[in-house]
Amino acid sequence: MKKYILPSLKLTLVFIIICSVLYPLLIAATAKLSPGGGKGETVSVNGKVVGYKNIGQKFTDDKYFQGRPSAVDYNAAGSAGSNKAPSNPDYLKQVEERIDSFLVHNPTVKRNEIPADLVTASGSGLDPDITPQAAYVQVARIAKARNIPEEKIRALVDTSVKRPVLGMEKVNVLAINIQLDQLK
């Protein structure tokens, strides 16, 4: 028994040092080398920080593009999904409420034209992007609210679509809303 205790204690000490000291230091050093120095990439307009590049934000005004709903009300400290199954009655009720709210604010859109990403929360609850379809379906509302021709808003969406080599096309909601405010 004694011959196993000392090696076990040594191994435990080695793993405590690796897992509790070296690994966190490695992660912290890696974060310092990333854009934003581990504090996130801030987005500034006229020298004022207006948000973070990769964290979704809540836009409720009809003159802005709206992003995906958030199960955590866009709280980056509590990133999480709803953890409710698609068959959960509470979840289905919540999605129906989102659809009804979207239709009130977008009367020209038919129910079957609403992209899923506008009524379902992402896994993190902080998704900063929407699909191009989710952006295009909001064009009429924004054009009316801003008194700008729809073609101009549609052209803005066209230029805002990011097409990665791998993955789906996407539109960053914060970035396009900043561009909207800069439109004349």
Closest CA to 74 of 46, 51, 90, 108: 51
pLDDT in tens, 157-184: 999 999 998 889 999 999 999 999 998 6
pLDDT in tens, 121-153: 888 888 899 999 999 999 999 999 999 999 999
| DSSP SS3 for 170 | strand
DSSP class of 32: H
**Strands, DSSP E only, in the chain?**
42-45, 48-52, 129-130, 171-172
Alpha carbons 156 and 180: distance in angstroms, whole number: 8
Report how far apart, in Å, the C-alpha atoms of 138 and of each of 12, 105, 179 are.
57, 9, 15
Asked if residue 57 lies in contact with residue 173, where contact means CB atoms within 8 angstroms, the answer is yes
Alpha carbons 11 and 21: distance in angstroms, whole number: 15
> What local confidence, expressed as pLDDT, does residue 160 receive?
95
